[in-house]
Every structure is written in structure tokens, then in C-alpha cells.
Amino acid sequence: MRILITGSNGLLGQKLVELISSKPDHYLIATAKSKLIPTLKRGEFQSLDISHRREVETIISRTKPDVMINTAAMTQVDQCETEREKCWQANVDAVGHLVEVSEKNRVHLIHLSTDFIFDGSHGPLDENETPNPISYYGESKLAGEMIIQKSAIDWTILRTVLVYGVTQDMSRSNIVLWVKKSLEDGKTINVVNDQWRTPTLAEDLALGCFLAATKKVKGIYNVSGEQMMTPYHIALATADFFSLDKSLIHQTDSTKFTQPAKRPPKTGFIIEKAKRELGYHPHTFREGLGIISTQLGAPR
């Protein structure tokens, strides 16, 4: 199977490159706007900005993938709120290009979406919940989903939650790395205790994408971790695992933060469908921390 990945330099993209390029039965076409960061064990790299329709058409028609996994997106929630045109181009217009070219070239499109398409009034959520975004980022991701769902292509939408992990270049942080570094530096951190999520290890999400690709399943799947946790819980668990000073962690609530974009208070996903139909089984949060520790070379 020929699999093309967009956004190969992102956290998920890097994990997918590592995973798929090690599989001898699959040929990987890794794409990104800039030079490829992860090691490509086999396959090829193509420069691609999915916001440019002509580039998308050229690369897809030339490389002829069977499946395309779209991990490229503008995901900085507050930036999406303040730079709306840029957000819409990345998360909606670009998806339209992928759908149009996928239909023309008979490519199965796997698209990554988010729990931020929901209002956070309750959770955890299954695939049948009605979306109601409360941020522009959420609106844009839902609009991208709608383009795909109304299309004539073969498609899969994988929704996920609060992805964490280690990238090769460490160019972007995430909650686990932020907590770990802050505590190692002796900094006091304020962490909210009134938002609930099911944090997702990047390696688990990559495997979920790969399973969806190889099985060519169709429809919507929740692919995340399984444990409902607040960021405060996440911070405490991280401190415990790495033997860091928990007294530096102060719990607070979201009313104490002034941010351009609203966050849904409670999401998290029910992943029974992915377990049943994909054979997806994520690591526990503690197991995820162990994987991160090994990758960072931290002693345990």
C-alpha cells in the first residue's frame, strides 16, 4: 500500500514517518512544507503546502497514493482565534483541496480532527455526539469535517484529544514536556483543575492512523487515550513519575486565565468503536510517560 502523509514534521507526522517507513509492505510518501525532520527509513519525501491546490494536485497525481493521512493543520487555539483567515485557509480551504484531488485520483483520505469541535458541556463523548464548537479553531475543524463528510470520496475522520510526546527536533512543547521542564528548572506552575480530557500518546495516535489506513475503514472514529484527567492530574502524575517537586504545582481554574479562545471544560473520548473495529488499544498515561522517559534518556 502506498501511503502519503501531510504535515510530516509535526508531532504526529514524525511518529507516522517512523512507523510506516519501517514497514516493508508499505511505501511511504512523506510531505511537509519544509525539510523533513524525522529519519525516512524507506520511501520518499516531497515538499508540499496543502494550502496550494496546484501543489496538492501535482504531488498526488505524481506519487499516486492509495491512502492519504492528513495531519497538517493550524492547531494553536489562540492563534486561530486572532488570525482567523490564516486558520480557515489551513483547516478548511486546504481540506477542500485534498478532497477535490482525492476524488479525482481515487485516494482514501484519513483526516485528523479534534475534541474542540464540542462545547465541553459533558464527557467522555462517543462518535455520535452533536458538535457545537466554542472557539474559532473548533469551528474551522468542524467545517473541514463537513467538507469531507459531504464529499463522494472514501474517507475516515479520526478525532483525538490533547496529544503528547517527544519530537526529534523538540521544536514544539506539549503539556507533559512543559510540566517536566518547568519543574526541573524550579519554576512554579499554575495548572487548571476544571478541564477534563483523555490525553493521547503520539505513538498511540500514529498506530491508530496506521490501523485505519491498512483496514481502509470508513466513517468517524475516536482515537485517544482512555483515562479522564485534568491538566492538574497530568502535572501531578508527571512530577511523580520523574521524581520532581510537586509543591511547585499550584492548582487553579480556567477563570484565572485570560485567553483569546474558549476551551471546552469537559471532553474526553469513548474509544470502544476504535477498539472493536481497528484493534486499537492505547497505553495508560503512566506507560506513556515511560515511553517518553526512554526517548529522552531519563533514568528510571
Q: Is residue 51 part of a domain?
A: yes
Instruction: Give the pLDDT confidence of 191-247 residue by residue, as tens digits.
Output: 999 999 999 999 999 999 999 999 999 999 999 999 999 999 999 999 999 999 999
Q: Is residue 261 part of a domain?
A: no
Q: Is residue 13 part of a domain?
A: yes
Q: Is residue 142 part of a domain?
A: yes
What grid cell was written down for 104?
479525482
Task: Encode 34-71 in three state secondary structure.
Answer: CCCCCCCCCCEEEECCCCCHHHHHHHHHHHCCCEEEEC
Domain limits at 21? 2-172+199-226+269-283
Nearest to 174 by CA among 182, 163, 184: 163
Give the pTM: 0.97
103, exposed or middle or buried, with CB in 10 Å at 0-12, 13-18, 19+? middle
Q: Is residue 177 part of a domain?
A: no
* Bond prior to 124 in cis (omega within 30° of 0): yes
Report the greatest alpha carbon distance in the chain.
57
Q: Is residue 263 part of a domain?
A: no
What grid cell was written down for 226?
482512555
Q: Which 8-state DSSP code applies to residue 21?
A: T
Segments of the chain scoring below 50 in pLDDT: 300
Q: Is residue 209 part of a domain?
A: yes
Nearest to 90 by CA among 137, 51, 54: 51
CATH number for the domain harbouring residue 215: 3.40.50.720
Residue with cell 484493534: 279
Task: Give yes or no for a contact between 211 and 278, defined as CB atoms under 8 angstroms apart.
Answer: yes
Q: How many domains does the chain have?
A: 1
Q: What one-character-per-residue DSSP string does 181-249 give?
A: HHHHTT--EEEESS-BB--EEHHHHHHHHHHHHHHT--EEEE-S-S--B-HHHHHHHHHHHTT--GGGE
What is the reported pLDDT for 173? 84
* CA terminus-to-terminus distance, the chain: 39
SS3 172: coil
Q: Is residue 146 part of a domain?
A: yes
